[in-house]
Amino acid sequence: MRLLLIAYEFPPSPSPQSLRWIYLVRELVQLGHEVHVLAPELGGETRGLPAIPSDVIFHRTFPGPVRGLLAFFRRRRHRKINADLATTAIESPRGDEALGDAIRPPRNWRQRISEQIQEFAQFVHFPDIRGEWRPWASRRLPRLLDTIKPEAVISSHEPATTIELALLAKRRGFFWVADLGDPVLASYTPSRWIRRASRIEHAMCNEADLITVTTEATAALMQKRHGRTSGFVVIPQGHDAQRPTRAPAVKLFDDARLELFYTGSFYQFRRPDALLAAILKIPNARLTIASIAVPESVLAASRRSPSQIRLLGFRPHNTILDLQKAADVLINIANDDMTQIPGKVNEYFGSGRPVLNLGPGDDTVSAELTRLRRGWNCRNEINHIVECLTALNAAKSENRLDELLDLSHASVSSTSWRAIATRLDNALRQAVKDGSASD
């Protein structure tokens, strides 16, 4: 099939939604699809991302004034970096993946200015600064539809800008698959955008031919809000079963300590405060955090106790995968909203290391963790976390940390990107077939 993916978050973006579609595009191409991608030109490159098949066809457009200016500076910075590398001809064994000088707070003055600009832009553009891409993408989209004539248009949310664009394609008669990460109207939607988010979500539920969601809870929420009772397919985040296991470039973890590793983002609905306080009560435990940005409370805790709370900042995706396989325990902090599952969970499962899930006890991750015997659940409260870490520390010292767990790849084969893409492929072909039969 000829597919047109509308995606703001796509390389060079390293976001979870970008990673989701890097992997899905790779697998869909291997399954025989012709894939075109409409995306903004964000400038530069991000090392360590999975390779995209060479026959994927990109249609890049101007991202808007603010992001366009940032892309200009990013391209200039990357040209300088590449020129310096060519001049010195000095390269570490793993290039950007080496970790020797990476242990530093992840935010600098440029990132702070960028955050302030984007925060201001949220008052102007819906749903945030990424909305400034809409005019340029909406002018390019009709020409692409006429030229490519895709058999299906897929919109990758977030941002909701992609849904607004896909609605234009649908109203011209094209088959539309709406890939929904979080609901458009989510717990973090600013009050000024609630009405617009609700209107777009309602239009999506009314007009999309197929809606892919990451959890059953999201599908149930769409049914409750908008009355849509069919046409949902659960397509969760996955893990890369094709990637070979290899040792990290730098040995980061100490065999004599209980090494905990957290990757991903922090939000108001994903709070690390209890974990930070609990870590300090277990002297032999150390928490390493790899995140592009962390709250001030995490920065402050790391400054107070650098021997137990260590910040890596942003690390390439490939490096993160290697480090996950080398840690003792991977930390997941459950979201407050039960319709949302952190995108790292299935990636964690694919690492072959146990997961400690901090949540209320009735979240979706806790049920899956128990079913798979992939780790342990613990309430996200200081006393409970201290009790869990004490037990895990004792278990490691006695060489029985993985005891009674099933950390095999076979038990999580259904959440490999290949298996997930096959599920999407089957649903897509059947939905297009059913739609053609009803015309």
pLDDT for 287 equals 97
Over 70: is that where the pLDDT of 279 sits? yes
Band (pLDDT 50/70/90 cuts) for residue 99 is very low
Over 80: is that where the pLDDT of 361 sits? no
- In whole angstroms, give the CA distance from residue 332 to residue 351: 13
Lowest mean pLDDT among 77-86, 136-145, 327-336: 77-86
Alpha helices in 9-64 (DSSP H): 16-30
Residues 117, 47: contact at Cβ < 8 Å?
A: no
Band (pLDDT 50/70/90 cuts) for residue 217 is confident
The strand pairing partners of 416, in sequence order, are 239
Over 60: is that where the pLDDT of 102 sits? no
- The answer to whether the peptide bond before residue 159 is cis (omega within 30 degrees of 0) is yes
Over 80: is that where the pLDDT of 249 sits? no
Neighbours of 227 (CB within 10 A): 10
More confident residue, 223 or 295: 223
Q: What digits encode the pLDDT tens for the residues 24-41? A: 999 999 999 999 999 999
More confident residue, 168 or 117: 168
Over 60: is that where the pLDDT of 106 sits? no
Over 80: is that where the pLDDT of 247 sits? no
DSSP three-state, residue 46: coil
Over 50: is that where the pLDDT of 225 sits? yes
Over 60: is that where the pLDDT of 93 sits? no
- Map out the domains of the chain with their CATH numbers: 2-238+418-438 (3.40.50.2000), 258-414 (3.40.50.2000)
pLDDT for 92 equals 38
